[in-house]
Structure 1
Amino acid sequence: MWALKFLSFGLLFVAVPVSNLQAQGTRADYRRSAELRKRFSGKVFRDRIRLKWFADDQGGWYRVDLADGKREFVLVDVGRRKRRAAFDHEDLADALTEATGKAFDPEKLPLEGLRFSADRKQCWFRAVGKGWLCERDDSKLQEAEEPKNFDPGSDRQPADWKRPGFESPRNRRSPDGVWEVFVKEHDLHLRNRRTGSELRLSGGGDQERSWSDNVFWSPDSKRLVAYNTRRGAKHTVHMVESSPQKQLQPKLHSHQYLKPGDEIPLRRPHLFDVSSGREIPVSNKLFSNPWRVRELRWNKAGDRFTFRYNQRGHQVLRLIEVNARSGVARAVIEETSKTFLDYAYKQFLFYLDDTNELLWMSERDGWNHLYLYDSRTGRVKNQVTRGHWVVRGIEKIDVKARQLWFRASGLVEGEDPYHIHFCRIDFDGSNLVRLTSGDGTHQVRYSPGGDYLVDTWSRVDRPPVTELRSATSGRRVCRLEQADISALKEAGWQQPERFRAPGRDGRTGIWGVIYRPTNFDEDVEYPVIEKIYAGPHGSFVPKSFRSSFDTQVLAELGFIVVQIDGMGTSNRSKAFHDVCHKNLGDSGFPDRILWMRAAAKTRPWMDLSRVGIYGGSAGGQSSLRGMLV
């Protein structure tokens, strides 16, 4: 039994003396809570931009929208490493007033369709139904049609660098256009589109074993791979609707829902030779019990294909290669775990065909990292990333330069280990460069040419900062914006507080956030409510800045609300994550309890004799267990 008793939110809290206690749920509390989002809405400025890059990738422009309809137009010059006004707003307002006879407010210029000349000396825009050409240095203005060679800028992201040929395309029709696959009478058939002749490829099909006619063709159209799926077991789950609207008696609802241990759908790849119409047998010894078979991919020569096999139970993962001539299968890579392999969020595969290599993601050293493999031998050539931090995702791969760009967390010592930073590294594991800087979690958008990135970083207690940086070296070109939250503070915004405490092992940091009501009084003792979500597929405590959270709305009713990522959740070490293995009921409660106790030691206004808990989905399961255990 937990040392700290959890009670369900919505139930009566335990009886305690009323001195220095906050009464919850007054009419004023509910009114203030209901109006909180509206009260804080539209009170943050300069927190986000969308830079429209010029075609040369050496600058661009953006608009800043401010309070009361005010706006600024900003020009960015990479070469000069500066941002500046796109034009003199006051002079342009005067010029427009003179040209149209209408008064223009320099802080509310109604410019649309803005674009610039290649030398940035002129700009063109639409206003009051007309087109205008403006000299940027002196704001001389003349009515003009839209110039053909002026650049409006683009916020388009670079083309997808990451996964060319990640999976071969599926199609009914062969690449040479001669053949077409279709299903008839539960079996797979092949039609010659030139002669109209038909050939049955498979046999023994029935309603329980279905074929997909969306097949994987070899590049030379000589072979194809099709999936055959055996249906899973029938497992009917019944639910009773106690009070249906259209009848007096309860209503029974039944649907199929497979549970652990049930026979699940079984999908396997089958290889066929087109010229003979025969199946080339492939032993399923290496993929006999799949939870999923996916990412099937032919090589360029069409004599081999690979696919990823995740064994049911998620303790075996293989990259399997099949010789298309002989049907012989081999495991190029095999990952095993005594607990589980995170198949959903910690998998990455990238083929380097020209050098017979591939990039692979694994937690084998206790942290989520990338490895370079020889695809012919299945041997690890080198570990690409390493350290007590985790790769969170791949941004870009430059095959020629043998470099990759990626997201990581836990990389910067002293920061919240969930903060995301962006990095670059060589395939051989050398020259690791952190491209972002600033104690917060980062989001980036790349220039269309990929040479620069716009980095916006923040924390729940730190308003966003937006900077322009080199996407190669990380060198800061210039700061673009610093968010203005003065209006938010004037509206009574209560800043969330980050807090860290040791977990159950006495060493590992457990991170969370504390929310207070806007009328917070440190001399009052408040009951504490945790919003919990302990699903093992992610981490859930907010890390970036927002003007309002749903937890804040609840706090406004007179509570201290907390969110915590305990052990068993993701995005830390493998050992941290493994706590959830066959142990979902743990929900990180030992860590959460220690965290609350540590927080309350220096925060006497947190009354741990009155603790509530709530959550949705997995959070609901944790809430119920917190009540009962």
Structure 2
Amino acid sequence: MTITAGADAAAAQTERARVERSVHLRENWKYLTRNVAFPAQWTDDGAAFVYRKTVEGGFAFVRVDDRTLEKSAPFDAARLAEALGKETGEDIDPLRLPFDGFTYADDGKAIELRADDTLYRCTLNAYVCAEKTEEDERPRGFGVVRDLRVPANNEPSPSPDERFEAFVRDDNLALRDLTTGDVVMLSRDGSPGNFYDPETLRWSPDSSHIAIHRVRPGHARYVTRVEAAPDTQVDPVVHKQLYPKPGDAVDIEQPVLFDIRSRRQIDVDNKLFPNPYRLSPPDWRKDSASFAFDYDRRGHGQVRVIAVDADTGGAHAAVTEDSDTFVYADRRFRHDVGDLGEEMIWISERDGWRHLYLIDSRRGRVKRQITKGDWIVRDVVKVDDDSRRIWFSASGRRDGEDPYFVHYYRVNFDGSDLTRLTEANATHTVSFSPDMTRYVDVYSRVDLPNMMEVHDAEDGALIATMETGDISRLETAGFRPPQPFTAKGRDGKTDIWGLVVRPRDYDPARSYPVIENIYAGPHDNFVPKRFWPFGYHSGGDKVIGMQAQADLGFIVVQIDGMGTANRSKVFHDVAWKNLDDSGFPDRIAWMRALAKREPAADLSRVGIYGASAGGQSALNALLFHPEFYTAAVAYAGCYDNRMDKISWNEQWLGWPVDQSYLDASGVVNAHRLQGDLLMIVGEQDSNVDPASTLQVADALIEADKDFELLVVPGGEHSVGRSTGPIDYVQRRQFEFFLRKLSAPGGLAPD
């Protein structure tokens, strides 16, 4: 017995050491690259651009003169670190400054930067940093319900001709004559339940009119959280957060027009925008003849740009976008050509792909489709009305390339002279100079470190190579890039793209459990395409985290199934009222294709983990596909979409709340659970109501289902991983999969 106990203890100690090694892999590897440059930012005058890159021990900022391309330091990093440290009360390493970028201020004599969500201004002569006060508007819960506990910014708004100023008094619009000081009430129908919002007040350029929204407040729902173990006191602390949920009444905004000369009030007829989810503030045309605003219909099935005549208050739809499923609110784009409201550049998916259109805004109809084909426009960089040209990014246009790779193009308004400006088979991030004569291109793949080049913006010709990423030390430490893999999806025709991460001691003759890193939110695609393996800004999962898991004896994969963004409209629409799908039929087909090619992938032992929407998907894998998935770690999941934020859930499940919300609910379907489940949640999650996790736990207990639950006191939506026990929760995940999937072997500890 003693020998056995001793052997068991030694084995446990070895396993713990393996886990600890994996947990710290990211920190051990993060600073081993050199000259890996991040996207550049031009100065306002175009005289230089600035970027951040990896150096020995951390990061450094570089300034490049546009004319000579000579490099210099934009500031003294040591002095800046000391000055910022004095202001924040923290010790700051000059090679690990706590910000990714900055902007110049005071004609280059100072910089402004954001660290830990706080804005600072730092002088570059005396090196003094101070927190900069930001002019805050009244907060809105997920953009649709005003927090009436906070006063609106009611700073008087001066007219462009400086004769008057307008403001709100007792919920009504008031006008002060700046010559006499006399105040006139322009409205008298405002009340606390139907008030004029000063933050939406807009003067016409010629000072003849004011447009403003009158607001009927929505439902002020609050989520209450108890912080059980605060740092500042012994007793718990209660936090309340304005948190509208699906189906709640939103603020109803009514545009109102005022003629300053006649003091006439005109309510704009709302027949073209009868059921608003959200209206944008009034946007006056340059000639003051009209203003426009965006209308998003509740349920996201229709979007319009409404134009209003300044003299009559008559409204017409400058453009209407309808969908049988959803119009993606966060991907809209419009540009008024010439600022007179006659033409508009608009992005639409009406032909099944995301493309640019030229709109006749007076008649509300398409004049011309500018781009077309089985590919998508990603973002518009610039529209030049004079030359009638557009610069934009797109993906999926080049045969033989990953369809998610981003390239940059230029095209004329009439669709002619479509010119690709980026060439390398990689994904690109381009920063154009203010005069559009040059651009800085940073491109990479997961297996190609960042390259930075300067190009001529007219024809894309290479001017100079600025940086070439060096990962030799990272490779010496054992880094191997993940392998892209493509297989057909559920329909047997559509290519599904993903990545495979293998243990560094991978032996094809062995058998490895498979773990999927899932995030299936319909708002984007998530499989990394750029090189930076530690996480690129806030986007994408970290390849190193997948490698750390793989090193314990697993094959780890990440996949973009149907229902995610940046492919065709049909591909994206799979998510509509169907969040329980999560692309699982595509994911399972993809993994089966991988195992057919690579028998070392053991599909009798498949785990899955994810956070937020990925947490919901991880749970749903065991609820709806237990024949394939056997173990899941679910972080901070939005397990019941009725409990989650209004904005994200109504976008994909629509309004009103219907059966589709119940179909995807982990609470309603808890009785289906098969397999092993670990749920992890931060007690102070302000993104997803943490009660959602506890409601699943309650339903699982009611159904007599066994599971594991970890609540992190004080943890946010990141479950404390960014500010607290990163090693602890990561270790719990790793050990859970080792126990439940019984992965043999794995890298021995150093």
TM-score range, shorter chain: 0.7 to 0.9
User: Residues 31-65 of structure 1: CA distance to partner in whole angstroms, max 9, x if unpaired?
Assistant: 32133123323322233278899999899999997
Pair 1:514-2:500 in alignment: yes
Aligned to 1:386: 372
Q: How does 1:142-541 map to 2 (within 5 A)?
A: 172-214=157-199, 215-235=201-221, 257-294=243-280, 296-353=282-339, 356-447=342-433, 449-541=435-527
Cα distance 1:242–1:449, how it changes in 2: closer, same or farther (>3 A)? closer
CA distance in 1, matches of 2:168, 2:46: 50
Aligned residues between the structures:
528
Moved more, 383-392 or 343-352: 343-352
Q: Deviations over 1:394-451 (max 9, x none)?
A: 1122222111110101111111111000111111001111100111111122345421
Distance 2:400 2:58 in 1: 41
Give the conservation status (yes or no) of the 8 Å contact 2:359–2:367: yes
Residue 602 (structure 2) aligns with: 607
Which residue identity does 2:175 align to in structure 1? L
Per-residue displacement from partner, 1:317-349 (whole Å, max 9, x unpaired)? 111111111111111211111101011123333
Specify whether residues 216 and 65 from structure 1 end up closer, same or farther in structure 2 by C-alpha distance, changes over 3 A only: closer
Equivalent residue of 2:428, what SS? strand
Tell me which amino acid in the other structure corresponds to 1:45: R
1:450-500: CA deviation from partner (whole Å, max 9, x where unpaired): 212222211112222333322111223354443222211111112211111
Report the Cα offset of residue 356 of structure 1: 2.8
Q: C-alpha deviations, 1:519-559, integer Å up to 9, x for none?
A: 33333322221111111111111110024432223223332
Offset, 1:182? 2.1
Corresponding residue of 1:134: none
Query: 1:456·1:465 contact (CA, 8 Å) conserved in 2?
Result: yes
Q: Give yes or no for the alignment of 1:593 onto 2:588.
A: yes
* CA shift in 2, pair 1:67/1:181, >3 Å: closer
Tell me how far apart the structure 2 counterparts of residues 344 and 545 of structure 1 sit (CA, whole Å).
Answer: 26
Pair member with larger Rg: 1
Q: Which residue of structure 1 lines up, in the alignment, with residue 643 of structure 2? A: none
Q: Structure 2: which 5+ runs fail to align?
A: 1-10, 76-107, 112-154, 535-543, 625-750
Q: Are 1:37 and 2:26 counterparts?
A: yes
| Structure 2 residue 38 is the aligned partner of structure 1 residue 26 | no
Given the superposition, is the C-alpha separation of residues 557 and 69 from structure 1 closer, same or farther in structure 2, using an over 3 Å criterion? closer
Instruction: Identify which range, 239-248 or 460-469, moves more after superposition.
Output: 239-248
Q: Which residue of 1 aligns with 2:577?
A: 582
| 1:608 positional shift | 1.3
Question: Would you say the 8 A contact 1:527–1:606 is kept in 2?
Answer: yes
Are 2:583 and 1:571 equivalent residues in the alignment?
A: no
Amino acid at match of 2:187: S
Note if contact 1:24-1:559 (Cα within 8 Å) is conserved in structure 2: no
CA contact (8 A) 1:45 1:483 kept: yes
SS of the aligned residue for 1:505 comes to coil
Structure 1 residues 344 and 23: CA distance shift in structure 2, 3 A: farther
Residue type at the aligned position of 2:553: G
1: CA distance, partners of 2:162 / 2:458: 43
Q: Which residue identity does 1:44 align to in structure 2?
A: T
Closer, same or farther: CA 466–240 of 1 in aligned 2, 3 Å: closer
State the one-letter code of the partner of 2:192: Q
- Report Cα offsets for 1:257-302 as digits up to 9, x if no partner: 4333332211121111112323123211111211111152212221
Contact 1:409 1:417 in 2 (8 A): yes
1:550 is aligned, of 545, 548, 560, to 545
Describe the SS at the equivalent of 1:586: coil
Secondary structure of 2:166's aligned partner: strand
Q: Secondary structure at the match of 2:329?
A: coil
CA distance in 1, matches of 2:425, 2:346: 29
> 1:217 deviation in Å?
0.6
Q: Whose helix fraction is larger, Structure 1's or Structure 2's?
A: 2
Coordinate RMSD, CA, aligned:
3.9
The TM-score with structure 2 as length reference comes to 0.64
1:239 Cα deviation after fit: 6.8
- The separation in 2 between residues aligned to 1:413 and 1:31, in whole angstroms, is 44
| Residues 359 and 25 of structure 1, relative CA distance in 2, 3 Å threshold | farther
User: Residues 195-251 of structure 1, C-alpha deviation per residue, up to 9 Å, x if partnerless?
Assistant: 122222222322222211231111111110111111113556677889999999999
- Aligned equivalents of 2:21, 2:431: Cα separation in 1: 37
String of CA shifts for 1:130-168, please: whole Å, max 9, x gaps: xxxxxxxxxxxxxxxxxxxxxx9xx9xxxxxxxxxxxxx
| Alpha-carbon contact 1:358-1:373 (below 8 Å) kept | yes
**Does the C-alpha gap of structure 1 residues 397 and 61 become closer, same or farther in structure 2, counting only changes over 3 Å?**
closer
Tell me which moved more, 484-493 or 230-239. 230-239
- Alpha-carbon distance in structure 2 between the residues aligned to 1:411 and 1:625: 34
Structure 2 Cα separation of the partners of residues 68 and 249 of structure 1: 42
More relative contact order, 1 or 2 (CA 8 Å, 6+ apart)? 1
Query: Which residue type is aligned with residue 29 of structure 1?
Result: R
Q: How far apart in 2 are the matches of 1:413 and 1:204?
A: 60
Q: Structure 2 vs 1, CA of residues 564 and 112 (structure 1 numbering), >3 Å: closer, same or farther?
A: closer
Please give the alpha-carbon distance, in whole angstroms, between the structure 2 residues aligned to 1:56 and 1:370: 29
Instruction: Give the conservation status (yes or no) of the 8 Å contact 1:171–1:217.
Output: no
Task: Show CA shifts across 1:66-121 (max 9, x none).
Answer: 659999x9999999xxx9xx79xxxxxxxxxxxxxxxxxxxxxxx8689xxxxxxx
Q: In structure 2, what is the Cα distance between the partners aligned to 1:499 and 1:241?
A: 44
Supply the AA of the counterpart residue of 2:253. Answer: R
**C-alpha distance in structure 1 between counterparts of 2:614 and 2:51, whole Å:** 41
Seen in structure 2, the aligned counterparts of structure 1 residues 54 and 273 have a Cα distance that, compared at 3 Å, is closer
Q: 1:429 to 1:295 in 2, by over 3 A?
A: farther
TM-score, with length taken from structure 1: 0.75
Alpha-carbon distance change, 275 to 537 in structure 1, aligned in 2, over 3 angstroms: same
Identity %: 46
Question: What CA distance in whole angstroms lies between the structure 2 residues aligned with 1:487 and 1:247?
Answer: 46
